[in-house]
Amino acid sequence: MTAVREMVDPVPGAAAPHLPAQPDLVQLLTPEGERVEHPDYSLDVTDEELRSLYRDLALVRRWDVEATALQRQGELGIWASLQGQEAAQIGAGRALGEADMAFPTYREHGVAWTRGVDPLDVISLFRGNDLGGWDPVATRFNLYTVVIGAQCLHATGYAMGIQRDTADAAAIAFLGDGATSQGEVNEAFIWAATFDSPVVFFCQNNQYAISVPIERQSKVPLFQRAAGFGFPGVRVDGNDVLAVLAVTRAALARAREGSGPTFIEAFTYRMGAHTTSDDPTRYRLADELEEWKLRDPIARVKAYLSRSGKADAEFFAGVDAEGDELAARIRTGTLEMPDPAGTEMFDHVYAEQTEEIAAQRAAFLAYQEGFEK
């Protein structure tokens, strides 16, 4: 227990780095890279799928590192790092079916990757060029939502639409541990439970809401809250991509077959700052991060692949080379990104232009022209 954590009421089993063995935690791959079985969740994955999961994990981390560097060099306004949460996001993203619809927060770059969103279309948002450059309908990946918890209502409403269309699909809402304290999230839970909506609430408990530790958000482990709303809650090792894949697949299948929502608590850790605007050394001690590094989501897959002979040095070198190419493409693409015209901010306020916005746009243009003379 660190000095910082002693200042708040510790929740047994919730203070991450000091966890004893947790019977409730679904795990299929231990931090040491050992494959284990779970009585309720099994997963058949081919060696090729395992290697491609590793590739996804490694490439999204490389993207994240590059984006953080670009922000530090003044090329992005801000960046919200996913470091430490790669397995939670790749596992959940790879569990989605083509027709399923995902509703992210602002940190789900790993899920974006699995939906085929171009990293530069995410970066353009953090550069301040647009509100996200991807097509949410084509990618089945909604635009990022910064208003904490609001996407849980969007996903629930969307899921109710799926129900009425009798479509064979589900919605998934991503949320953080802090978001569970938000009124809208609890309203979404009640609504989804009452209507048996085909929605999965995927909570990444990364232990912090900016500087506020999980102990201040909940007196009980988060997954236990679901029982009070009347749907199942599952706690999965969020740093175990195989367990996350298995648990999320099961929850989505349950939703699609009409059995209603599931709450998944992916137990993980935000290894970086909340965003590049934050300094985590002000509120947490370095030894906590050191402990979580031992549970790194990528290292355990690498250990498993190497030890079992499912991948060799050549494979890992290939992924590293791909990472270098991706980073170079992200860097060049960011630097070459054209600045948007100032008038663009008026273009998407409403689906159809109003007289008032048109007048504001004209006034802005006149103002800008005044400078150019």
Ligand X SMILES: Cc1ncc(C[n+]2csc(CCOP(=O)(O)OP(=O)(O)O)c2C)c(N)n1
Neighbours of 10 (CB within 10 A): 15
- Of 176, 221, 238, 261, the one binding ligand X (CB under 6 A) is 176
Q: Does 108 bind Mg ion (CB under 5 A)?
A: no
Catalytic residue among 55, 62, 109, 270: 270
Q: Is 269 a catalytic residue?
A: no
Smallest distance from ligand X to CB 367, Å: 30
Q: Which does 107 bind (CB under 5 to 8 A by kind): ligand X, Mg ion, none?
A: ligand X
Q: Does 206 bind ligand X (CB under 6 A)?
A: yes
Report CA-CA distances (Å) from 355 to 137, 298, 343, 363, 369.
Answer: 28, 53, 15, 12, 21
Smallest distance from ligand X to CB 260, Å: 23
Q: Does 209 bind ligand X (CB under 6 A)?
A: yes
- Mapped onto helix, strand or coil, the DSSP state of residue 76 is coil
When the beta carbons of 103 and 304 are compared against Mg ion, the nearer one is: 103
Q: Does 109 bind ligand X (CB under 6 A)?
A: no
When the beta carbons of 283 and 315 are compared against Mg ion, the nearer one is: 283
- Of 56, 100, 108, 177, the one binding ligand X (CB under 6 A) is 177
Residues 199-218 within binding reach of Mg ion (CB under 5 A): 206, 209
Q: Distance between CA atoms of 291 and 20, rounded to whole angstroms?
A: 13
- Are the C-beta atoms of 84 and 297 separated by less than 8 Å? yes
Q: Distance between CA atoms of 277 and 3, rounded to whole angstroms?
A: 24
Q: Is 270 a catalytic residue?
A: yes
- Are the C-beta atoms of 229 and 190 separated by less than 8 Å? yes
Pairing of strands 208-209, 212-213: antiparallel
When the beta carbons of 176 and 272 are compared against Mg ion, the nearer one is: 176
Q: Distance between CA atoms of 28 and 143, rounded to whole angstroms?
A: 32
- Of 177, 184, 237, 296, the one binding Mg ion (CB under 5 A) is 177
First to last CA, the chain: 64
Residues 70-89 within binding reach of ligand X (CB under 6 A): none
Please report which helix (H) or strand (E) contains residue 123, including its range.
helix 119-126
Q: Does 280 bind Mg ion (CB under 5 A)?
A: no
> Would you give the distance in Å from CA 124 to the centre of its chain?
18
Q: Is 283 a catalytic residue?
A: yes
- Are the C-beta atoms of 196 and 223 separated by less than 8 Å? no
The one segment of 66-74, 207-215, 237-245, 322-330 that binds ligand X by CB under 6 A: 207-215
Q: Name the residues that contact ligand X, by CB under 6 A.
A: 107, 146-148, 176-179, 206, 208-210, 270, 274
